[in-house]
């Protein structure tokens, strides 16, 4: 079975509370981690909740990286979804662990879009018409 994508669900525990409540820090951390993995950033948006928490997403050509933080519990949940095999999503996971100073993390990888492919062939990523034009 071949997969269209990989999704890593990450839970970061025992993080630095102030970092998890700083929308600029969170935004810069996710952008830098995706750049380190050589992902292609399309757009990003982040929101600071009152009094605690940040949610945001970095949309990448290869899919997305999303985060929700609960600073009052020193906890962040991150979803890293990548398509194709041009980037390694585990690089993003490791970078964010360091940025948030997480002392304990739990990660689970899932294969998404599983298909049977005839032996000797590969499942190919088909770019959209917009991506082909650029």
The residues annotated as belonging to the active site are 63, 68, 83
The partner residues of 7 in beta bridges, in order of sequence, read 81, 110
Burial class from Cβ neighbours inside 10 Å (0-12, 13-18, 19+) for residue 50 reads exposed
- Which residues on adjacent β-strands are paired with residue 80? 8, 65
Question: Which segments within the chain are labelled E, that is strand?
Answer: 2-13, 41-48, 54-60, 63-70, 75-83, 104-115
Distance between CA atoms of residues 32 and 20, nearest Å: 16
CA atoms within 13 A on the CB side of 44: 21
């Amino acid at each position: 079975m071949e997969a269209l994508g990989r999704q890593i669900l990450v839970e970061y525990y025992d993080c630095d509370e102030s970092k998890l409540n700083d929308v600029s820090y969170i935004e810069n951390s996710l952008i830098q981690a995706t750049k380190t993995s050589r992902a292609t950033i399309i757009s990003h948006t982040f929101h600071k909740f009152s009094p605690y928490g940040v949610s945001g997403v970095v949309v990448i050509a290869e899919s997305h990286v999303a985060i929700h933080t609960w600073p009052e519990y020193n906890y962040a949940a991150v979803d890293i979804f990548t398509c194709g095999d041009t980037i390694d999503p585990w690089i993003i996971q490791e970078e964010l662990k360091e940025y948030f100073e997480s002392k304990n993390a739990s990660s689970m990888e899932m294969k998404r879009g599983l298909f049977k492919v005839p032996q000797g062939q590969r499942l190919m990523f088909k770019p959209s018409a917009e991506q082909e034009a650029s």
